[in-house]
Copies of this chain bind each other. A is one copy, B any other.
Amino acid sequence: MSDKVKIAVDAMGGENSPNKIIEGIKISLKQSKDNFFYLYGNKEHIEKELTKNSIKKDYYEIIHTEDIISDDESPLAAAKRGNNSSMWKAIESQKENKTDIALSAGNTGALLVISRLLLKTINGIDKPALAGLWPNNFSMNVVLDLGANVECNEKNLLDFTSMGSALFKSLFKSEKPKVALLNIGLEENKGNDILKKTFSILKKNNPSNFDFQGYIEGNHIMDGNVDVIVTDGFTGNIALKTAEGTANFIIKNLKKSLNIFSIIFSYIQLKNFKKKLDPRKYNGAIFLGLQSPVVKSHGGTDAIGFAHSITMCNKIVRGDLIKKIKSHLITVDG
């Protein structure tokens, strides 16, 4: 057990939990036995699901918690009253060095607030950020911040480039990821002052840990020519949700356009198409910048999606994310 990756799981967070959580663990165990799960939540309910899914005792330990943070609670209210919740206890286990990483499908805002409350920020980083994976023409890329920080200065964006490239390296074993700043044009004079300052610092410092590619526009995020895309949390959240909305709109219209015969005839092709773009493959946003990593699974995902976020947790710990972030930080004088 001791050499496995120790994942603290909030077994109660998200829709249809703990059922999907335990089923997700079952799927994950079929692919890899490299994880040990600390399951925080209602013991009785969790045990019932473990038995149903025939999961052996070698792979988990249950820590009973009385309380659950619900999805509609305000983050601050949840943080105030939630210190007996499954989410809180899971994160707390990292503080105590009992676990390597925490995973929750619960209330995102509460998870960010409680993580910041319990876990220290990495020395040199002012604001942790939420990073996610986007599909692209070749594979996937990392985009951050997706909503943790509405306002960011050039120091924050600079930290995001370091953290994002460290994450990409941990997940994909890349030597020198290509990093770009999200902007409304490619020329140096485009965008707001904070972007221009960040651009000029990066150009001047020429970071050795990643390859700074300048600006990227929204229509090229998914081209696959850049590995890490950095923006403030407001813009990143708008971009993420707009992409989601556009994808849903197109798929809905496609379904409406096809009649039953063409659906049957194109069944296998459409299945491949769906499989390639399956959002469950990209499930898991990473809260970066704290002494210990926290992963947020989509609340509405199913067991397969949750299993993908377990794989992500494993890669993050095995890829030495925290150590990489520390070695990637750019210090700027003045």
Contacting residues, chain B, for A300 (C-beta < 8 A): none
Roughly how many angstroms separate A252 CA and B137 CA in the complex, as a whole number?
9
Bound: A262/B265 CA distance, A? 6
Contact A244 B219 (CB under 8 A): yes
Contact of A238 among B235, B248, B269, B276 (CB under 8 A): B235
Cβ–Cβ contact A218 & B237, under 8 A = yes
Contact among B192, B234, B257, B277 for A273, CB-based, below 8 A? B257
* Number of this chain's copies in the complex: 2
Tell me if A235 and B234 are in contact (CB < 8 A): yes
- CB A204 to nearest CB in B, in angstroms, measures 23
Q: Which of A240-266 contact B (CB under 8 A)?
A: 240-254, 256-259, 261-262, 265-266
Known contacts A222-B246, A250-B247, A250-B250: A257-B241 contact under CB 8 Å: no
- Whether the pair A222, B234 counts as a contact (CB closer than 8 A) is no
Q: Does A221 contact B (CB under 8 A)?
A: yes
Cα(A30)–Cα(B238), bound, Å: 41
Please tell me if A239 contacts chain B, counting CB pairs below 8 Å.
Answer: yes
Given A150-B192, A269-B259, A219-B234 contact (CB < 8 Å): no
User: A147: CB under 8 A from chain B?
Assistant: yes
A113 CB–B CB distance under 8 Å: no
Residues of chain B lying within 8 A (CB to CB) of residue A182? 238
A270 engages B247 (CB within 8 Å) = no
In the assembly, what is the distance between CA of A258 and CA of B273, in Å? 8
Task: Decide: A257 and B270 in contact? CB cutoff 8 A.
Answer: yes
Return the 10 tightest CB-CB contacts between A and B, nearest first. A218-B241, A257-B273, A218-B242, A219-B245, A262-B266, A219-B241, A184-B237, A246-B246, A222-B249, A243-B246
